[in-house]
Amino acid sequence: MVQYDDILIRYGEMALKGKNRGMFEKQLADNIRRGIHDFPKAKVETAYGRMYVALNGEPYDGVAERIKKIFGITSLSPTKRVENFTLESIQEASLSLMKDIDPAPKTFKVEVKRTNKRFPHRSMEMNHLVGGFILKNMDGIKVDVHQPEVLLKVEIRNEGAFLTCVNVPGFGGLPVGTGGKAMLLLSGGIDSPVAGWLTMKRGMRIEGIHFESPPFTSERARQKVLDLAGIISEYGTGEMRVHMVPFTEIQTEIRQKCPEHYLITIMRRFMMRIAEAIAKKQKALALSTGESLGQVASQTIESMHTINNVTNYPILRPLVTMDKSEIMQIAHKIGTYETSILPFEDCCTIFVPKSPVTRPTVEKASEFERVLDIERLVQDAVERTEVVKASSKKEEQEQFDLF
């Protein structure tokens, strides 16, 4: 097992010119720092237009696991630093790196870059010296200069020689915190966390809004939502505020006073109104939802139109064109799936009408709603909303003083 010294971080520099760049880098460095807070010795460093994490003895695997999630990073590479400039130590280090690759590669290529001109061997010569050493000491491996499985890069600089041969892809995107704020309507299901994740991908900070209906929903359902928020926050700033909106009263009012087939439409219109009110308070400029077209009867374009009618806020629907299977794939990839499928009631599963309307209209919805004191209900729910901070940091969750 090779002990790596640094992790080199690459980000989409091309897209970033001018003064945005400094802000972008600072946010990315902050997000990485928060992501690896429990590896205290690891330090984020920016120098000469690149960013790297000095491991200082922390395990590469554990640190990389965290970093590779963070939006804004296109790829990363573990690097080995060789402090003395002897040919032998560079050869040995190169070999150990190659041997560490699992599964063992069949072809490779060496690429040496020498900026330290005092080093006696030139780049081209070094390519042969290093490559030859590896060929001699590893079975079943060949050089392929065109399409090598592994590209071993050796950079000989004044501070030392830096070796990398693994390139771990990141998720790309922009660092969370560089693109304004949206409020995410977060249920406990599969879709909304994925929608949140995709919203974050473009650099937006998000806060969650969750509708609770005790006693129909439980402590575990609430915890599940916070867990989900914690999981997706790992891709951004490491934490996320979730607004817990008490929704029982509104649901029962609708249930008792409005026609059953419009129940879901009206309920969702209330959710939008409340979300907008909270967004205003939190200075967010958009709402984000997990809706996709035609998934369930309530997600027709007519339905979307009718629900959208109560707000002027932009509603981001990152999943709108996706199939369920695509959404599930992402949920698996980002680690929310297992939590999403835990079977606790959420506010949308309690009152399920037998035949919900599939083509609701704005006119009808407004008319049915007239019996309700919309303003009071919304205001009351917003006032009683509780804000809870979800976090990927364990010590910020509820902890027991037992250990």
Partner 1 sequence: MVYLDNGATTAPYPEVVETMKEVLQTYYGNPSSLHHLGVQSEKVLKQSRELTAKFLEVSPGEIVFTSGATESNNTAIKGIAFQYQNRGKHIITSAVEHPAVLDVCKQLQDIFGVRLTVLPVDSKGMVRLDDLKQAITDETILVSIMFVNNEVGSIQPIQEIGNYLKSFPKIFFHVDAVQAFGKIPVKPETLGIDLLSLSAHKFHGPKGTGILYVRKGTQLTPLLVGGGQEAKFRPGTENLAGIVGMVKAMRLTQQKLKDQPDALKRMRNRLVEGLQGLEGCYINSPEEGAPHILNLSVPGVKSEVLLHSLEDKGIYVSTKSACSSKLDRPSRVLMEMGLGEERARSALRISLSYENTIDEMDYFITTMKQVVPQLKQMLN
List contacts with partner 1 (CB under 8 A).
1, 38, 59, 61-62, 102-104, 214-220, 223, 248, 252, 255-256, 342-345, 350-351, 394, 398-400, 402-403
Q: Tell whether residue 372 is among the known ligand binding residues.
A: no
Count of alpha carbons within 13 angstroms of residue 147, beta-carbon side: 0
Place of tokens 């049915």: 368
CB 32 within 8 A of CB 81: no
In angstroms, what is the minimal distance from the CB of 114 to partner 1? 32
First to last CA, the chain: 32
In angstroms, what is the minimal distance from the CB of 142 to partner 1? 18
**Residue closer to partner 1, measured from CB, 85 or 351:** 351
**Residue closer to partner 1, measured from CB, 83 or 219:** 219
In angstroms, what is the minimal distance from the CB of 219 to partner 1? 5
Distances (CA, A) of 283 to 207, 241, 270, 310, 313: 11, 14, 20, 19, 12
In angstroms, what is the minimal distance from the CB of 70 to partner 1? 18
**b/e string for 8-35 if b means 16 or more Cβ within 10 A?**
bbbbeeeebeeeeeeebbebbbbbbebb
CB 88 within 8 A of CB 130: no
Tell me the two tokens of residue 334: 């980002």
In angstroms, what is the minimal distance from the CB of 39 to partner 1? 11
In angstroms, what is the minimal distance from the CB of 24 to partner 1? 31
> How many other β-carbons are positioned within 10 Å of the β-carbon of residue 149?
15
**Residue closer to partner 1, measured from CB, 156 or 165:** 165
Q: Tell whether residue 290 is among the known ligand binding residues.
A: yes
| 3-class SS of residue 72 | coil
Kindly tell me the burial class for residue 311, based on how many C-beta atoms sit within 10 Å of its own C-beta (0-12, 13-18, 19 or more). middle
Tell me the two tokens of residue 50: 């690149």
**Residue closer to partner 1, measured from CB, 49 or 215:** 215
In angstroms, what is the minimal distance from the CB of 58 to partner 1? 10
**Residue closer to partner 1, measured from CB, 85 or 344:** 344
**Residue closer to partner 1, measured from CB, 147 or 399:** 399
**Residue closer to partner 1, measured from CB, 144 or 345:** 345
Place of tokens 């359902």: 221
Q: Tell whether residue 268 is among the known ligand binding residues.
A: yes
Q: Tell whether residue 210 is among the known ligand binding residues.
A: yes
Q: What is the CA radius of gyration of the chain?
A: 26
Angle, alpha carbons 341-343-344 (nearest 5°): 120
Distances (CA, A) of 392 to 208, 237, 323: 15, 9, 29
Place of tokens 């001109």: 117
Q: Tell whether residue 211 is among the known ligand binding residues.
A: yes
Residue ranges of the annotated binding site for ATP are 185-186, 210-211, 268, 290, 299
Residue ranges of the annotated binding site are 185-186, 210-211, 268, 290, 299
